[in-house]
Structure 1
Amino acid sequence: MSTEGTESPFTQSTGSARHAVLAELAAAGPVHRVRLFTGVDVWLITGQTEVREALAHPDIRRSPEQIPHREATPPELAAAMHQHILSSNPPDHTRMRKLVAAAFSRGGVAKLTSRIGALAAELLDELAEAGADGSTVDLVAGFGYPLPITVIAELLGVPPERRADFRRWSVIVTSGPAYPAEVYLGAARELLDFLRELVADKRAAPSTDLLSDLIAVRDGQAALTEDELTSMAFLLLSAGHETTVNLIANGVYALLTHPDQLALLRAESERLPDAVEELLRFDSPVQVTLPSVTAAPVRIGAVTIPAGEVVVPALLAANRDPNRYDLPERLDIAAAHGSHVAFGHGIHHCLGAPLARAEGRVAIGALLERFPRLRLADPAAEPERVPSLLLNGMRELMVRVD
């Protein structure tokens, strides 16, 4: 099905605009032939059943050609940044995922919960001080970002003085197609230099962090290559915080703009786990998965996609699929929509989902408990979204906490 002429949801500047464009697409069917803002023609999948089919299909595979600014990226840079579990297929995917899975298991995350709570309390102290006189504070810069970046940085052993640099590089690299090639490549080279320096430091002085474990791991023939090591470090650092930043900010904004749901959650705090699941569905942190390519003709829904075509499953759209939810645009924390695909599906289901859920529960719960009068600085203004193909995040979220 062709939908040429429909606006691209990925360059829209507000969340409501993105959802409106995706809803228009979904009304026309679950599978669409569209042209991205990069000029590439793809098959965009918006139906939840069809997204699951695509993500589980063995003939829809990740391809090294589907990386940002591929033609301008030197092969050695691409190899050192994009050989990780999200960009690979079995058996390499299976081997690499096994090496890092233990750290992100429910048991591994449980060990981090108290640290997440302590970090949240420290950041909320700072927000309280900054907003004590009624001044507005940015919930993204002051809470949503520093909490998950500190957690993942500590897990991987990134020194505190380098985290601001990493944030600057990560914003550009994870939204690569939205930036000019020279800007993307400049950030990618600086980030790679940093990762190589970090790996060298860990080799010289191993610690108890995950990166030291990955360097030292020996599992028969399953050890990571040097390019896989830097690629995995990049993925874990970037994906390990960017998506959680969006979960926290998008989730809080959704609650503040739905006072009935906020009141219900405040009155019945035991609903928090279900609320996080509904917030993940309602305004997902990720717009689409990494693009894949059909290795053979593939039938998705009623459409046969030829071999060699680029396929883009749209998680943001699938989580508001009108064929799956009676009122997809309604926020309802009592509905417990645990069937969402905010973390993907199949072999590429997000490895860090348990950690993201834990951070979301701790962060949102602590924020609401600490600030009973938390409110938007300007209820009439919708936050600006960061232009991106992959991510669905806000530049800032200005609130009052007094």
Structure 2
Amino acid sequence: MTTPVPYPFNTDTGLDLADAYRVAQDTPGLLRVQLPYGEPAWLVTRHHEARAVLADARFSRADAQRDAPRTTPVSPIGLVATDPPDHTRLRRPAARAFTARRAEALRPRVRALAEDAVRRMTARGAPADLVEHVALPVPIAVIRELLGVPAEDRDLFRGWSDTILSTSGATPQDFLAATGSLKAYMGELLDRRQAEPADDLMTALLRARDEDAPDDRASRDELIELCIAILLGGYETTASQLANLTWVLLTERPDALAELAGRPERARAWVGELLRYVPLAASASLPRYALEDVEVGGTTVRAGEPVLVAIGAANRDALRFPRPDALDPDRDTTGHLAFGHGIHHCAGAALARVELEEGLTALARLLPGLRMAGDATWKTAAFLRGPAALPVAW
């Protein structure tokens, strides 16, 4: 068998797509890679093959007996590591409570939070760190209000999230301690909402769960893990992307902010294209195991072998998106994989789009002269790439 090559390819600094992905896309078959932890895996980089694997029931996310290829010492937990019928049962409450209609209904509140954050940053004076004052506070506030988390506990979540999503800065003991603390906290909050319902997502999840037949209902522990998945996905990914998208526009297309200031309806097109363009993850993750021999891209993946799907590379595949390295908000971005595909498609995708659209529009409208005021400082040892600090002026 082919000797695996060291992986991941992308660097922490910047948001470039490593050249090794291009080589893999242009080479017949799949590439065999070795991550820092776990067994070797096959790497999928082309769009049509990525989309096929993500939707193929012959690939399982739930093989817990394997030494999963990964960048972190401990494998992920919860909804991302399940298959039907468990996945269907566990995702059902989220699908009922986390709807596109609910996300759109939250748009005015998200807009208010984004504008308030921008005004607070402006009041402090330039230069200012956009990550600290806008990119982090807005998604934290949105997910905190959704889950009914007290404002004073905001920093707790940030610390736990940073530890859980660290790729090398945290030990297995740190990871387990942060996960345990987060589970305990979410459990207490869930019990409180069970006794005292409120107008928040956690109460909606409980109500949706209770609509299921007793044998199909998610357990308390499963709901806790679902809430943790919503927290980590709703806060960390959106915060990283809001900073990333702003950095890309400021450094590559500053004209876009002027366009958004005058035509906020263009935010949807810009966000769709930026989500396709920006390779967010430091590497492909969440392996899928072949349940039988499957032919993928000219390579036979044997039963039991893991496959990793490189979303960032697939979204920059020239066969699906012509001139993939050009930012073009007028292109058809239908089918981009930034939120995944198939049964594990991100449940919070609609809300993430709302937050990114309103965040960029607030910056464009309130700070038409927004510009970089120094070099970005990039996160290291993190699963999601992005600026740790983004100095701006206006």
- Would you say same fold, with TM above 0.5? yes
Aligned pairs for 1:139-150 within 5 A: 139-150=130-141
Q: Counterpart of 1:235 in structure 2: which amino acid? A: A
Residue 165 of structure 2 corresponds to which residue in structure 1? 174
Query: Which position in structure 1 is the counterpart of 2:356?
Result: 360
1:157 equivalent to 2:148? Answer yes
Q: Give the stretch that moved more between structures: 192-201 or 243-252.
A: 192-201
- TM-superposition CA deviations, 1:162-221 (whole Å, max 9, x none): 111111101221345663212212211221221122223223323222223333532113
Q: Which amino acid aligns with 1:277?
A: G
Q: 1:316 is aligned with what amino acid?
A: G
Q: Please list, as runs of the form range in 1=range in 2, the aligned pairs for 1:207-286 lying within 5 A after superposition.
A: 207-216=198-207, 217-218=209-210, 219-220=212-213, 221-259=215-253, 261-262=255-256, 263-266=258-261, 268-286=263-281
SS where residue 324 of structure 2 aligns?
Answer: coil
Once the two structures are superposed, residues 48-95 of structure 1 have per-residue CA deviations (whole angstroms, 9 ceiling, x without a partner) of 11100110111111125277999987xxxx9xx8232x2211111112
Q: How do 1:115-134 residues align onto structure 2 when only pairs under 5 Å count?
A: 115-131=109-125, 134=126
Written as runs of structure 1 = structure 2, the 5 A alignment for 1:50-69 is 50-63=49-62, 65=64
Alignment of 1:22-33 (within 5 A): 22-29=21-28, 31-33=30-32
> For structure 1, which runs of at least 5 residues remain unmatched after alignment?
none
* Unaligned ranges ≥5, structure 2: none
The 1-side partners of 2:55 and 2:7 are apart by: 28
- 1:116 Cα deviation from its structure 2 partner: 0.4
**Cα contact 1:31–1:47 (8 A) shared by 2:** no
Aligned-residue CA RMSD (Å) = 2.6
The superposition leaves residues 136-163 of structure 1 with CA deviations (integer Å, 9 ceiling, x where unpaired) of 2221221111111211111111111111
Query: Once the 2 structures are TM-superposed, how far is the Cα of residue 346 of structure 1 from its aligned partner?
Result: 0.8
Q: Distance in 2 between matches of 1:94 and 1:3?
A: 37
Note the alpha carbon deviations across 1:302-358, whole angstroms, 9 max, x for none: 111111111111111111113222321111222242331101111111111111111
Cα separation, 2, equivalents of 1:169 and 1:6: 29
Q: Counterpart of 2:81 in 1: which secondary structure?
A: coil
Aligned length: 387
Aligned with 2:181 (options 190, 194, 207)? 190
- Contact 1:34–1:42, Cα closer than 8 Å, also in 2: yes
SS in 1 for 2:378: coil
The ranges of structure 1 where at least 4 consecutive aligned residues each deviate by more than 6 angstroms after the TM superposition are 66-73
Name the CA distance, whole Å, in 2 between partners of 1:224 and 1:312: 28
Q: Say whether residues 1:138 and 2:122 are aligned partners.
A: no
TM-score under structure 1 normalisation?
0.88
2-side partners of 1:188 and 1:222: how far apart? 26
Do the aligned residues in 2 keep the contact of 1:289 with 1:313 (CA within 8 Å)?
Answer: yes
Deviation (angstroms), 1:267: 5.4
* Residue 297 of structure 2: aligned partner: 301
1:3 Cα offset (Å): 7.3
Tell me how far 1:387 sits from its aligned partner: 2.9
Equivalent residue letter for 2:163: I
TM-score by length of 2: 0.89
